[in-house]
Structure 1
């Protein structure tokens, strides 16, 4: 029992006339009559009375027509929804972001996607790369964006670089170290807070504060929420390590200043988009990835810059 023949049954029930119904579905009357006879043979029941006057559905025909209408309506909805899904006007997607891109790239990405695809549901998870990696492998998210320096080689994932994000040390205006040259040891004594650091950065901090080999530094606050770190910097003497792009407005407003620390080299996060190998992202995820790549060009520096 196919949908086309069901549409012929509905057309005949509506028109109550073979010639008009055949014209409505663009068939010759003999071909239309054969279609109705074929479906009657399939269901083993007479669906229309043809003996006198206009054609009328039998009780069995009325029963079938009612359900055929619902089935045809659902089929049209499915066809429409599939087209909308293909064009990213329907459906949803879930993706993740590490602390730095969550503060610098994702606000613009989510706004852009909401404006362009208001019928789509978005779920953004912010966390460190380890937890996002686990979510990706479990297929709870379709991709994530993060600092990928510590992400291990894994045949199940693919990493696409989207550039570097510069990071610096910041404190509130009026901080004791603001406006003068200092060392990281002085910063450390004020309390240092930042996101979860990759191993090379932990080793650098340990060396700068003179820890014995193999001993890791314990930060005053380690938090993957850059906006909470910003609050710390604004309201206490805690010095924070944060992405330049995430604090640009506060620096321009004079609320936060970048510290001049002699012994800290230029620091960058190596940003990448992490996806599963041999998995085709949904149309919406593909558009979200393209949006991330476009916005990253305006926020990040190219690798090697």
Structure 2
């Protein structure tokens, strides 16, 4: 089967327009049309319906297009890896990381990678799992590591679970709440600052606070930037919800202290490495994933 012709099928599926697809693959429109006709003849099916001014995949075409994308992706991966192995290199890898891991695992993982594989070039994209999943599907990144609790099940994804981190409540040293136990109602009066993905549902918090059924609460500050959250907690009376790993330095220095709060349910993250199922990881991606998994074990997540 001709991979070049399969790439023409994918181009037409992406543009749904013969002229634009032909331009995308640098062919004249007549030559592009002949290529589509040739693969129709080779496969014995009609991948596209072609009405006046309208191009759309047939059910059989949808099947072919999905498989063609996978074949073309693997062909690109094979060529990349052959080039790297031939030149005795690991190459580079673009990958994504969620906000929690950016503040906890990644400093340790990146230090290890730079020490053990200084020849590897890394491009790290930070975002929530929705943003990272979009980048993964569009092949802008090879994999991502994030809190995957809220991700829907998807047969197209391969998720490797590597642990989780419980969240607790912290305040600055000298805070009026520091040094004794409290109820959640007492803590709530000072305002809660949390990363969005570690926040309990507003309905659950309302129940814990004894609010009427169905009523939601308003969290003082939801932000996935841990540096910003810690700055607010260290300079105001706002209560911080975070994992121990995310505030390790501040706890060690005594700038933050953990609160004991009756009624607080510490939501635990679920850390996962997410890849497209059936896709071969590059050598650089493999060493990056290995470093992240080791870092997760070292901080006991």
Is TM more than 0.5 here? yes
Q: Distance in 2 between matches of 1:79 and 1:168?
A: 44
Change (3 A) 1:212 1:99: farther
Query: 1:287 offset after TM fit, Å?
Result: 0.8
CA contact (8 A) 2:93 2:284 kept: yes
Q: Flag the structure with larger Rg.
A: 1
CA contact (8 A) 1:150 1:198 kept: no
Gaps of 5+ in 1: 1-77
Query: 1:233 offset after TM fit, Å?
Result: 1.0
Match of 1:170 in 2: 170
Match of 1:111 in 2: 111
Match of 2:122 in 1: 122
Match of 1:100 in 2: 100
Q: Distance in 1 between matches of 2:157 and 2:82?
A: 33
Query: 1:215 offset after TM fit, Å?
Result: 4.1
Q: Distance in 1 between matches of 2:199 and 2:256?
A: 27
CA contact (8 A) 2:200 2:267 kept: no
Change (3 A) 1:159 1:203: farther
Give the match's secondary structure for 1:165: coil
The Cα offsets for residues 111-161 of structure 1, whole Å up to 9 and x where unpaired, read as: 111222223221112221111112111211111111111000112211111
CA contact (8 A) 1:181 1:261 kept: yes
Match of 1:287 in 2: 287
Match of 2:49 in 1: none
Is residue 2:181 matched to residue 1:187? no
Q: Distance in 1 between matches of 2:133 and 2:210?
A: 33
Match of 1:274 in 2: 274
1:111-260 equivalences under 5 Å are: 111-197=111-197, 201-260=201-260
Size of the aligned set, in residue pairs, is: 222
Instruction: Name the TM-score, length of structure 1 as normaliser.
Output: 0.67
CA contact (8 A) 2:198 2:269 kept: no
Query: 1:266 offset after TM fit, Å?
Result: 3.8
Query: 1:198 offset after TM fit, Å?
Result: 6.1
Match of 1:53 in 2: none
Give the match's secondary structure for 1:207: helix
Q: Distance in 1 between matches of 2:81 and 2:217?
A: 58
Change (3 A) 1:145 1:202: farther
Q: Distance in 1 between matches of 2:270 and 2:154?
A: 18
Match of 2:85 in 1: 83
Give the match's secondary structure for 1:247: helix
Q: Distance in 2 between matches of 1:138 and 1:132?
A: 10
Q: Distance in 1 between matches of 2:86 and 2:237?
A: 52
CA contact (8 A) 1:137 1:156 kept: no
Q: Distance in 2 between matches of 1:285 and 1:277?
A: 15
Query: 1:81 offset after TM fit, Å?
Result: 5.9
Give the match's secondary structure for 2:270: strand
Match of 1:9 in 2: none
Give the match's secondary structure for 2:166: strand
Match of 1:33 in 2: none
Query: 1:230 offset after TM fit, Å?
Result: 1.0
Deviates more, 1:180-189 or 1:205-214: 205-214
Instruction: Name the TM-score, length of structure 2 as normaliser.
Output: 0.68
Gaps of 5+ in 2: 1-79
Cα-Cα RMSD? 2.3
Give the match's secondary structure for 2:130: helix
CA contact (8 A) 1:162 1:300 kept: no
Query: 1:85 offset after TM fit, Å?
Result: 6.5
Change (3 A) 1:219 1:200: closer
Q: Distance in 1 between matches of 2:196 and 2:110?
A: 24
